[in-house]
Structure 1
Amino acid sequence: MNSPRELLATLEPIMKAVAAAVGPHCEVVLHDLSNRDVERTIVAIENGHVTGRAVGGPSTNRGLELLRREAEDHNEFGYKGRTADGRELRSSSVYFRDDDGRVIAALCINVDLTPLQAARAALDAALRPTVEDTPARDEEVFASDISEVLDRLIDAAIAQTGKTVALMDRDDRIAVVRFLDERGAFFVKRAVDRVARRLNISRVTAYNYLEQIRAAS
């Protein structure tokens, strides 16, 4: 096919079928790359709420990379993506070329993993060891870099909430900061900055949580 218009007529029913079969957490997008207008490439989209995009929306960074190295094979399946608010996606992209080998369109499928991660977190919480089975001390972390030790502590703090960061509320985030403070994590330089980034909150908010926790203790 030599035009995105022809592709759209062929692929639009398939896009609807895929979105309906997988569910509302599956976004299917068709990008028109024929005119190289990267600011407005989306010509059709199903379940756009997954990434908050709509028809007339822009290309992604992968689309820009493709245009830089068009001759290469850019088809890719099952790679990781991330939304602006931090939710993890599992994505696949297929690119279409005209008779001259020029890329004219891309069909992309993006599955929001949040529902699956929430289900896994619920199972992990249900299967968490009882008080009798829980060791008296946390596992000791051995690492060659203190930042790795801090990252492991943050991972443990997030895990103990039983939720992913995208599903956390204010109380969950305070619980993470409390967990870390009790274990001396904030003796590490710039620990507050790192924790704030992992929790998707501002540095000021992280300091406020820490002050509240220490004032109450």
Structure 2
Amino acid sequence: MTTQTAMKEAARALAQDSARQTYESAEEILRLYRPVMRALATAAGPSVEVVLHNLDGADVDLGHTIMAIENGHVTGRAVGGPSTNLGLDVMKDRQKDHDAFGYRGVTSDGRELRCSSVYFHNAAGDIIASFCINVDLSPLQQARNMLEALLPAPATQGDAPQEHFGTDMESVMDQIIAEAIAEIGRPVAQMTRDDRILVLDKLDQRGVTQMRKSIPTIAKRLNISRVTAYSYLDEARSRG
């Protein structure tokens, strides 16, 4: 399970818990979930920020909602720091279900985050706190870019030839035959006579027909006789 998936599942579990319970105050939630925050952040690593916001009271100051935070370097925030624009939406309707999972966030310096938020309610149904998990995707994106730089680009017509590796020449030949068949774009059982001639032509151009035992192998893969394979090869060469 990836870090992002694990964090999303953890948030969903918290959401189920918050839906079943109500709380008297944000301070009660802090006492209950402070150890959970530390455990999540420690297990997930430094690229995962875990935040608890205090949204209790009639006049919430969204500029100072953070009650507790782990790995605050992800967004550059600390205890006493601000909410986000989502806090404004919550304050418009504090009895609505605002829980959200796996949505996109962006830091002030442009890094992309994968975020999940769970909201806790009091007995009256009002939201009084939020528990947020923010995963910094930049380490994963950097790793992906490094891998993409190392991996070969998808081959296109006219690119450098593809090299086949095998434990013997027969296995190499079989790979090339399979590739030529795949280029036709339909199963052998649905191939027309011209399709099979085209396969022979491709293999002849690649030198496969010069290899030992190539014609019997090609014939078997194309579900034709050796005689027919030689006939198709002659016709392919005559067309060329």
The amino acid of 1:44's aligned partner reads A
Report the CA distance shift for 1:113/1:134 in structure 2 as closer, same or farther (over 3 A).
Answer: farther
Q: Which residue of 2 aligns with 1:125?
A: 149
The amino acid of 2:25's aligned partner reads S
* 2:99 pairs with 1:50: no
Report the CA distance shift for 1:134/1:87 in structure 2 as closer, same or farther (over 3 A).
Answer: farther
* CA distance in structure 1 between the partners assigned to 2:157 and 2:65 by the alignment: 53
* 2:28 pairs with 1:6: yes
* CA distance in structure 1 between the partners assigned to 2:121 and 2:137 by the alignment: 30
SS in structure 1 at match of 2:119: strand
**Structure 2 residues not aligned, in runs of 5+:** 1-22, 160-240
SS in structure 2 at match of 1:90: strand
* CA distance in structure 1 between the partners assigned to 2:157 and 2:136 by the alignment: 33
Residue 39 of structure 1 and its aligned partner are, at CA, apart by: 1.4
The amino acid of 2:53's aligned partner reads H
The total of aligned residue pairs comes to 135
Q: 1:82 aligns with which of 81, 106, 109?
A: 106
SS in structure 1 at match of 2:30: helix
What's the C-alpha RMSD, in Å, of the aligned pairs?
Answer: 1.7
The percentage of counterpart residues that share the same residue type is: 55
Q: TM-score, normalised to structure 1's length?
A: 0.59
SS in structure 2 at match of 1:7: helix
Q: Which residue of 2 aligns with 1:179?
A: none
SS in structure 2 at match of 1:11: helix
Residue 103 of structure 1 and its aligned partner are, at CA, apart by: 0.6
The amino acid of 2:79's aligned partner reads V
- Structure number with bigger Rg: 2
The runs of 4+ residues in structure 1 deviating greater than 6 Å are: 132-136
Residue 133 of structure 1 and its aligned partner are, at CA, apart by: 6.3
SS in structure 1 at match of 2:69: strand
* CA distance in structure 1 between the partners assigned to 2:158 and 2:138 by the alignment: 30
* CA distance in structure 2 between the partners assigned to 1:134 and 1:78 by the alignment: 39
Report the CA distance shift for 1:38/1:128 in structure 2 as closer, same or farther (over 3 A).
Answer: same
The amino acid of 2:35's aligned partner reads P
